[in-house]
Structure formats: structure tokens, C-alpha cells
């Protein structure tokens, strides 16, 4: 049976629409219990765990970059998660719960490096995988997907073949420009694409004079240096310095200014503040090669022709820094072993940066190195941050630069004339905000004489007391707003004293625990029972009969328990035969990448399976345990079939040493690889097949 999780567990399901179709096993979001269990192992301060989605649930071993698409038509958010084998699409459900929708596979081969950026409702994806090119995907296609559809394999709308590989991307919305960085063109410098037709970007220019760019931030400049107002600028992490380029004319890129910094090793990434008067830069290798804590170099950009170092902030932790992105006065850093760090900027006062909170999912991993947090996106409209942890998956967390306590709402009487409620709560704000703060409430109807706005002049707490009507079926939120940023805080939580209602979108009588809404008495479309594990499926609720249909019908964390489920074996190479050496998963519906028949002797080679045709490549194609005469390679030792016994063949046999069954580098026909095979190979090494 499937591993047991509560409610919104990692569960398998499929659905007939409207008659039985081939159901696709669907890995759902890691729910509150999984996130809580993971979060309890993490070290965190002022940042709370909301949800977790494992790499394995996205059929990946490692994750890397992450992008964000906010659909302005539906106001729904989607995470675009870089995986070693493609780009995972993840829909954000109410309450910050991530749901895996499927993957845009890599163009060629697996790679640890992938980067995704979004422009004009299109995703652009590059990788360091050879001949990968730039994938272009119209994200509006995601609107039509429903959980009942199951996991999908998505197809790019276009692939721009050149450059063949690239490390990174930047986008400039005001100029409809996509910029490749660290590619195999223009010396690794900026490669500028015109994306005015977002589905068909074309090469518009580039810059190689400044050398290799690892990453960059592109923007239309309206900062303090009036000489450059209105220009399209690229702030680049360029080898061992910061370079500022004018890319207004892609065919004639101009250098405006540049600056080095002390003890530079490998300039990794730069992020320009929203006020455009300063920038934050990270050097990825200075901690490992020179020692000391994580360093963030703060540049003064008031004169773009002569930028200079204003401050070097050094953390107490000796972690390698990676990516940093800001929202107003708040800066978030994904710093590998140190996890996600939350800092505030007090530009231009010294110190500019001060750490205000952190979430470290790998507390046992310390020091410089390349494990842990890779990158993040800021979902400011929801008050959330999502970040990737390389070997783990995706974390969704809630930063608490402001938070509520002691929430109390007076009760209401069902069936009577609606009366206003008394609302009381305390709002707390950390140091680090650009005070004063304006505090407002969304999702209620205030009485005319009630206060509706509050001002906080400094950090600390303020009592909010007001009279207002709750709006049936609506979430109420507090908004804390400074001159630079705004963050929402939900009022209706499990800690609040209020007449609890939860949205019941599938109408099964049970509400979504992640979607609390206001209610008094019977409110259509809501429930007082927050027990629904899949609020998009009316066949799943706590008292439902468990059926053999691939669903967790009774919301106990298991699918198809005590039903006539069948064993499904992993089929990694897609040849129709599963690997019996790995545990089978029982299910009533077909599962992605799994089959009912086992017996594959090599699940990494699609030409090797029971009954396969002999290919004369020296492998046991039909998995009968021996290499027959028909399967022998007429050129002994030519494992890659290129007509030579060369170094590539030697690497093949060395990598296969010790193989006992399903081997691809045997020379004596016994379907195993040992010293005898190596000696046979060495006797013909370097000799042509003829």
C-alpha cells in the first residue's frame, strides 16, 4: 500500500470523464502533515513552514531554479520548478498548498542546471544540457488543467536551437526582451532576444566585450542618475566585478560603468533595489576559498558611471550564497546550507543590511558548499515565499515581518437580522520596515463610525479594534503597508476565535481546511467541517466508501486500501517492462512510468527487455541471462558501436565493472562485467574494428 499520510497526502488518483478513460496516477501536494513534519526538523525564526512538495513527487532527483507566473486573468499563481529532467508545473491552491501538474521535459539530457523566466504569459527555459536550446511555453495552456486530469506531459510551443546551452536568463518586460547569460554564444556574455511576439523570439543582438556573465538583472532605469533615465540597462555579475550595460539598442550594447570589489573570486548574482539606487551582489566562491561568513556586497548606484562598494554585509554563518531577490525593503537570500534568509535594507544608513529571520531545512548541514537552498520566488499577494532545496524539493513558507495575535471576533446568531461584529486583534511589526506603516483590513464592511485605518510609527505592536460586518464566504486579511512594500496577513486562522466556516467547492459537505472564510449560520458553498482532503473531488470526504478507483476516498491518507489493487512496477526506460528489483506500488488505475509486467533486466536501456530483438551490440537484449551469438557484437569491445575501441568504450566498461545482470559492457557473453572482460577489452583497445 501507499505510504500513509493524513488528508492532503501524497496520493494517487485518476478519474473517468465522462466515461472511463485511461486514468493517470497523480501525485498530489505534500499536505500540512508532511510540511509540519519537515518543518519540525528545520531551524526557523520569523519564517513559518506552510507546505512542502518533494522532488520525488515531481519525478525528479534534484531541483534547481524556480519561476513564478501570476495569471492576471484568473488571479491564480503557478510555480515553475527547475528539475534535473525538466520543468515542473505546480499550481498554488488556497492556503499556499502546491499541486504538481506535470512536467515540460528537458529537450535533450538530464542536467543539474536549468533556469526559467516568465514574460508576457510565456515561460522561457534554458539549461546547460548540450543542444538543449531555449524552450518557449505558453503558460495560458495551464488554465484548462484540472486536478481530475492528472499529471500531464507538457510540450513546448517552440525551441530556439541557438545558443545550444545557457546557464541563466533575465527578462525586461518594458522592452519585451529575453536575455540569455552564460551561453555558448557571444563569449558567454549577453544574448538579447526580441520577444515582442512572445511565442517566436528572435536574436536581436548581444555583447561579448565584457566577457562571461553568470547572471544579471535587467530593468528600465528611472533611478537617481538622471543622465540615464529611460534607458534599458543590464546589471551583470561579470567574472569578478559588477558591470552596467546600456542594452537599449541590442545591436549596439554600450558599457556605462563597472566596479570591482574586495576579495572577489566568482561573481555570481546581482539584484537591484526597487528604488534603483543600490544593488546587492553575491560571490559564490569567496566563502569556500577565503573563509568567513556569507558576504553580500552592497553597491551605491547613485552615479551609474562610477558605482562603488557602500557596504559588505557578513553573516555569522559560513554558508555559500546563491540567489537573492527583494520586495521593497525586504531582501530574501537562498544561501545553500543556511537555507532561506530574510534581511531588511536600511539604505543608505549603515549597516544597510540586517538579518531578521531564517528558515533552514537542513540544520545538520553547515559551512560553505553546495547543498540546500538554490533559489526562491516571492508571492507578495499571498504573503508567501517558495524556495527550492536541491535534494529535497520545494518549500512554501510565510515570512513574519508582521503577524497577528489574540484574534477574537464576536459571535453571531444564525437566522437573525445580520448585526455587526466586534473584531479585536494585535498586529506586531519587526524592526526593518520603512516606517511609518499603514494598517488596513480587507474583506469586511466597516460601520461608518468604526476606525478602519491604523498607523504604526515604529516596531512593536498595535491593537486593532473595530466594528464591521463579515462578508459571507470571504477571507478577511490585514494589510501592512510601508512606503516600499505591502504584506497581507490572514485573520481567519485556526488560532482565531470566530464562527468557523470553510469553502466547500465540490459540494460534498466538507470544507477545505486551507480555505477558511467568514460565515454565520448556513452559508451556501461553505462548511463548518474542515475535513476535506481533496476539495475539487466530490467523491472524497472522511465518511466516503473506499473504492478501487485510485482515489483516497475516505481521506485517511491511503488510496485503494483493502481493495483489489494491482502491483505496478517502475518502468524507467519506457520499454513496457518493469524493474522487479524495485518495490511495486499497488493501485487500481495505471500509474505514470509504471507497468504491470516486471522482468526488465536493465531499466535504463529501452532495447533490453524480455523478448527484445537481438541488435548485435554485445548485450543481453532479450533478458534471458546470456548473450547469444545473435546478440554478440562482431567488433569486440566497441560498446558505442562507432567502429573504434576507444576511450569512450573504456569508460563504458569501467563504469559497468561489477555488473551482474543486464550489463552493457560484457565481452565474454556471460552478461556480467569483471576483470576478465576488462583484460579482453585491453587486448583490443585502440584497434580498429576492421
pLDDT at residue 4 greater than cutoff 50? no
- For residues 373 and 418, membership in a common domain is answered with no
Q: If pLDDT is split at 50, 70 and 90, which confidence band does 681 have?
A: confident
Task: Determine the pLDDT at residue 13.
Answer: 26
Q: Respond yes or no on whether the N-terminal peptide bond of residue 95 is cis (omega within 30° of 0).
A: no
More confident residue, 413 or 356: 356
**Three-state DSSP class for 457?**
coil
pLDDT at residue 29 greater than cutoff 80? no
pLDDT at residue 33 greater than cutoff 60? no
Cα(256)–Cα(306) distance, integer angstroms: 9
Cα(65)–Cα(181) distance, integer angstroms: 14
Cα(680)–Cα(633) distance, integer angstroms: 13
Q: Report CA 467 to chain centroid distance, whole Å.
A: 41
Cα(141)–Cα(421) distance, integer angstroms: 43
Which whole-number Å values give the CA distances from 2 to 305, 562, 565, 579, 587, in the listed order? 61, 12, 11, 18, 9
- For residues 209 and 304, membership in a common domain is answered with yes
Residue 26 located in a structural domain = no
Residue 434 located in a structural domain = yes
Q: Quick one: 225 exposed, middle or buried, by C-beta within 10 A (0-12, 13-18, 19+)?
A: buried
Average pLDDT over residues 73-81: 97
Which whole-number Å values give the CA distances from 83 to 56, 61, 102, 103, 104, in the listed order? 10, 8, 12, 9, 10
- For residues 356 and 419, membership in a common domain is answered with no
Other residues' Cβ atoms within 10 Å of the Cβ of residue 367: 14
Residue 203 located in a structural domain = yes
Burial 402-413 (b: 16+ CB within 10 A, else e): bbbeebebeebe
Question: Which residue in this structure is represented by grid cell 568567513?
Answer: 292
pLDDT at residue 557 greater than cutoff 80? yes
The pair phi, psi for residue 152, each rounded to 5°, is -115, 150
Residue 90 located in a structural domain = no
The lowest-confidence range among 83-87, 193-197, 399-403, 683-687 is 683-687
Secondary structure of 107-140 in the HEC alphabet? CCCCCCCEEEEEECCEEEEEECCCCCCEEEEEHH
Task: Fill in the DSSP letter of residue 688.
Answer: B
Closest listed residue to residue 49, CA positions, set 31, 35, 37: 35
The lowest-confidence range among 33-42, 186-195, 441-450, 680-689 is 33-42
Provide the domain limits for residue 190.
32-60+161-399
Q: If pLDDT is split at 50, 70 and 90, which confidence band does 3 have?
A: very low
More confident residue, 688 or 385: 385
Is the Cα dihedral 428, 434, 435, 436 positive or negative? Answer: negative
> Which parts of 213-294 are beta strand (E)?
215-220, 232-238, 241-246, 254-260, 267-272, 278-283
Residue 188 located in a structural domain = yes
The lowest-confidence range among 361-375, 414-428, 470-484 is 414-428
The lowest-confidence range among 147-156, 487-496, 650-659 is 650-659
Question: Which residue in this structure is represented by grid cell 488556497?
Answer: 94
For 327-338, the pLDDT digits (tens) are 999 999 999 999
Question: Which residue in this structure is represented by grid cell 563504458?
Answer: 652
pLDDT at residue 21 greater than cutoff 50? no
For 274-286, the pLDDT digits (tens) are 999 999 999 999 9
In this structure, the strands spanning 526-527 and 500-503 are antiparallel
- For residues 324 and 182, membership in a common domain is answered with yes
Q: If pLDDT is split at 50, 70 and 90, which confidence band does 424 have?
A: very high
The lowest-confidence range among 362-366, 429-433, 495-499 is 495-499
Average pLDDT over residues 40-66: 93
Cα(405)–Cα(660) distance, integer angstroms: 62
**Three-state DSSP class for 489?**
strand
Average pLDDT over residues 89-103: 96
Task: Determine the pLDDT at residue 196.
Answer: 98
Task: Determine the pLDDT at residue 136.
Answer: 98
Task: Determine the pLDDT at residue 688.
Answer: 84
Count of residues for the chain? 690
Number of domains in the chain: 3
- For residues 244 and 345, membership in a common domain is answered with yes
For 253-266, the pLDDT digits (tens) are 999 999 999 999 99
Task: Determine the pLDDT at residue 26.
Answer: 31
Task: Determine the pLDDT at residue 246.
Answer: 98
Q: If pLDDT is split at 50, 70 and 90, which confidence band does 16 have?
A: very low
Residue 560 located in a structural domain = no
Cα(384)–Cα(376) distance, integer angstroms: 10
- For residues 355 and 412, membership in a common domain is answered with no
Cα(633)–Cα(150) distance, integer angstroms: 43
Other residues' Cβ atoms within 10 Å of the Cβ of residue 438: 14
- For residues 303 and 323, membership in a common domain is answered with yes
pLDDT at residue 472 greater than cutoff 60? yes
- For residues 255 and 395, membership in a common domain is answered with yes
| Packing angle of the helix pair 647-656, 675-684 (nearest 10 deg) | 170
Average pLDDT over residues 36-62: 87
Which whole-number Å values give the CA distances from 556 to 534, 541, 561, 595, in the listed order? 12, 9, 10, 26
Supply the CATH number for residue 45's domain: 2.130.10.10
pLDDT at residue 339 greater than cutoff 70? yes
* Cα end-to-end span (Å), the chain: 55
Task: Fill in the DSSP letter of residue 3.
Answer: P
Task: Determine the pLDDT at residue 40.
Answer: 65
Task: Determine the pLDDT at residue 418.
Answer: 66
Task: Determine the pLDDT at residue 498.
Answer: 80
Q: If pLDDT is split at 50, 70 and 90, which confidence band does 19 have?
A: very low
Domain boundary (399, 434, 451) is at 399
Task: Fill in the DSSP letter of residue 95.
Answer: G
For 384-401, the pLDDT digits (tens) are 999 999 999 999 999 999
For 157-200, the pLDDT digits (tens) are 999 999 999 999 999 999 999 999 999 999 999 999 999 999 99
Task: Determine the pLDDT at residue 39.
Answer: 61
Average pLDDT over residues 380-385: 97
pLDDT at residue 657 greater than cutoff 70? yes
Other residues' Cβ atoms within 10 Å of the Cβ of residue 60: 20
- For residues 42 and 176, membership in a common domain is answered with yes
**Three-state DSSP class for 246?**
strand
Task: Determine the pLDDT at residue 494.
Answer: 80
For 614-639, the pLDDT digits (tens) are 888 888 889 988 888 888 888 888 88
Average pLDDT over residues 581-609: 86
Cα(371)–Cα(320) distance, integer angstroms: 9
Q: What is the pTM of this model?
A: 0.80
- In sequence order, the β-bridge partners of residue 550 are none
Tell me the chain's radius of gyration from C-alpha atoms: 28
Q: If pLDDT is split at 50, 70 and 90, which confidence band does 323 have?
A: very high
pLDDT at residue 54 greater than cutoff 80? yes
Task: Fill in the DSSP letter of residue 149.
Answer: G
The mean of the pLDDT values for the chain is 89
CA angle 228, 232, 237 (to 5 degrees): 100
pLDDT at residue 6 greater than cutoff 80? no
Domain boundary (484, 510, 527) is at 527
Average pLDDT over residues 432-445: 97
Q: What is the dihedral of CA 479, 481, 485, 490, to 10 degrees?
A: -10
- In sequence order, the β-bridge partners of residue 442 are 477
Tell me the DSSP string of 602-619. Answer: -TT-TT-STTPPP-SSSS
Residue 155 located in a structural domain = no
Instruction: Give percent of the chain with pLDDT exceeding 90.
Output: 68
Kindly give the residue spans of alpha helices, DSSP state H, lying in 245-368: 286-290
Task: Determine the pLDDT at residue 683.
Answer: 84
More confident residue, 649 or 57: 57
Task: Determine the pLDDT at residue 484.
Answer: 97
**182, 267 Cβ separation under 8 angstroms:** no
Cα(606)–Cα(593) distance, integer angstroms: 13
- For residues 234 and 269, membership in a common domain is answered with yes
Task: Determine the pLDDT at residue 312.
Answer: 98
Domain boundary (352, 378, 399) is at 399
Average pLDDT over residues 594-610: 90
Residue 599 located in a structural domain = no
- For residues 310 and 438, membership in a common domain is answered with no
Write out the H or E segment, with its range, that includes residue 653: helix 647-656
pLDDT at residue 453 greater than cutoff 60? yes
For residue 514, is it left (φ>0), alpha (ψ between -120 and 50) or beta?
Answer: alpha
- For residues 469 and 511, membership in a common domain is answered with yes
Task: Determine the pLDDT at residue 2.
Answer: 23
Q: If pLDDT is split at 50, 70 and 90, which confidence band does 416 have?
A: low
Amino acid at each position: 500500500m501507499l505510504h500513509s499520510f493524513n488528508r492532503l497526502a501524497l496520493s494517487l488518483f485518476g478519474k473517468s470523464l465522462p466515461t472511463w478513460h485511461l486514468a493517470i496516477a497523480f501525485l498530489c501536494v505534500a499536505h500540512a502533515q508532511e510540511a509540519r513534519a519537515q518543518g519540525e526538523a528545520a531551524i526557523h525564526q520569523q519564517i513559518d513552514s506552510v507546505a512542502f512538495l518533494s522532488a520525488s513527487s515531481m519525478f525528479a532527483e534534484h531541483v534547481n531554479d524556480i519561476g513564478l507566473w501570476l495569471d492576471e486573468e484568473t488571479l491564480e499563481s503557478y510555480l515553475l520548478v527547475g528539475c534535473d529532467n525538466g520543468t515542473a508545473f505546480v499550481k498554488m491552491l488556497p492556503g499556499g498548498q502546491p499541486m504538481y501538474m506535470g512536467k515540460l521535459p528537458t529537450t535533450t539530457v538530464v542536467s543539474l542546471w536549468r533556469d526559467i523566466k516568465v514574460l508576457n504569459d510565456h515561460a522561457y527555459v534554458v539549461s546547460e544540457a548540450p543542444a538543449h536550446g531555449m524552450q518557449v511555453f505558453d503558460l495560458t495552456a495551464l488554465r484548462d488543467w484540472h486536478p481530475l486530469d492528472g499529471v500531464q506531459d507538457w510540450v513546448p510551443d517552440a525551441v530556439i536551437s541557438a545558443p545550444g546551452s545557457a546557464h541563466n536568463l533575465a527578462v525586461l518586460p518594458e522592452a519585451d526582451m529575453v536575455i540569455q547569460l552564460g551561453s555558448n554564444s557571444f563569449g558567454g556574455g549577453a544574448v538579447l532576444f526580441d520577444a515582442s511576439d512572445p511565442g517566436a523570439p528572435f536574436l536581436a543582438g548581444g555583447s561579448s566585450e565584457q566577457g562571461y556573465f553568470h547572471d544579471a538583472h535587467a530593468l528600465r532605469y528611472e533611478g537617481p542618475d538622471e543622465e540615464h533615465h529611460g534607458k534599458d540597462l543590464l546589471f551583470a555579475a561579470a567574472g569578478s566585478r559588477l558591470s552596467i550595460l546600456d542594452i537599449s539598442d541590442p545591436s549596439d550594447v554600450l558599457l556605462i560603468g563597472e566596479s570591482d570589489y574586495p576579495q572577489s573570486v566568482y561573481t555570481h548574482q546581482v539584484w537591484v533595489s526597487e528604488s534603483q539606487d543600490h544593488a546587492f551582489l553575491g560571490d559564490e566562491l569567496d566563502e569556500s576559498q577565503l573563509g568567513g561568513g556569507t558576504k553580500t556586497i552592497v553597491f551605491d548606484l547613485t552615479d551609474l558611471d562610477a558605482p562603488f562598494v557602500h557596504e559588505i554585509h557578513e553573516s555569522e554563518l559560513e554558508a555559500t550564497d546563491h540567489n537573492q531577490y527583494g520586495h521593497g525593503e525586504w531582501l530574501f537570500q537562498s544561501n545553500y546550507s543556511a537555507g532561506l534568509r530574510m534581511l531588511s535594507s536600511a539604505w543608505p544608513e549603515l549597516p544597510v543590511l540586517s538579518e531578521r529571520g531564517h528558515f533552514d531545512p537542513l540544520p545538520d548541514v553547515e559551512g560553505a558548499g553546495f547543498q540546500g537552498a538554490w533559489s526562491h520566488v516571492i508571492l507578495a499577494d499571498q504573503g508567501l515565499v517558495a524556495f527550492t532545496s536541491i535534494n529535497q524539493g520545494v518549500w512554501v513558507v510565510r515570512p513574519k515581518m508582521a503577524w497577528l495575535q489574540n484574534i477574537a471576533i464576536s459571535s453571531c446568531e444564525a437566522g437573525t437580522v445580520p448585526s455587526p461584529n466586534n473584531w479585536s486583534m494585535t498586529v506586531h511589526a519587526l524592526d526593518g520596515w520603512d516606517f511609518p506603516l499603514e494598517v488596513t483590513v480587507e474583506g469586511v464592511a466597516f460601520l461608518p463610525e468604526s476606525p478602519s485605518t491604523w498607523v504604526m510609527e515604529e516596531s512593536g505592536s498595535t491593537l486593532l479594534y473595530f466594528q464591521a460586518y463579515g462578508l459571507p464566504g470571504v477571507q478577511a486579511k490585514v494589510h501592512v503597508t510601508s512606503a516600499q512594500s505591502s504584506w497581507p496577513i490572514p485573520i481567519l486562522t485556526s488560532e482565531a476565535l470566530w464562527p468557523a466556516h470553510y469553502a466547500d467547492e465540490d459540494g460534498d459537505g466538507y470544507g477545505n481546511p486551507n480555505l477558511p472564510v467568514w460565515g454565520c449560520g448556513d452559508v451556501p458553498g461553505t462548511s463548518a467541517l474542515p475535513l476535506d482532503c481533496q476539495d475539487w473531488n466530490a467523491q472524497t470526504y472522511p465518511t466516503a466508501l473506499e473504492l478501487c478507483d485510485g482515489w483516497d476516498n475516505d481521506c485517511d491518507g491511503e488510496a485503494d486500501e483493502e481493495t483489489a489493487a494491482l502491483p505496478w512496477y517502475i518502468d524507467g526506460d519506457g520499454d513496457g517492462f518493469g524493474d522487479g528489483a524495485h518495490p511495486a506500488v499497488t493501485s487500481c488505475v495505471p500509474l505514470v512510468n509504471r507497468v504491470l509486467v516486471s522482468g526488465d533486466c536493465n531499466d535504463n536501456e529501452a532495447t533490453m527487455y524480455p523478448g527484445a530483438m537481438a541488435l548485435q551490440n554485445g548485450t543481453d537484449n532479450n533478458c534471458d541471462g546470456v548473450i547469444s551469438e545473435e546478440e554478440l557484437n562482431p567488433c569486440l569491445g566497441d560498446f558505442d558501436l562507432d567502429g573504434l575501441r576507444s576511450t569512450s568504450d573504456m569508460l563504458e566498461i569501467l563504469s559497468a565493472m561489477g555488473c551482474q545482470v543486464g550489463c552493457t559492457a560484457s565481452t565474454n557473453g556471460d552478461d556480467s562485467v569483471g576483470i576478465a572482460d576488462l583484460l579482453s577489452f585491453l587486448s583490443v583497445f585502440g584497434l580498429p574494428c576492421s
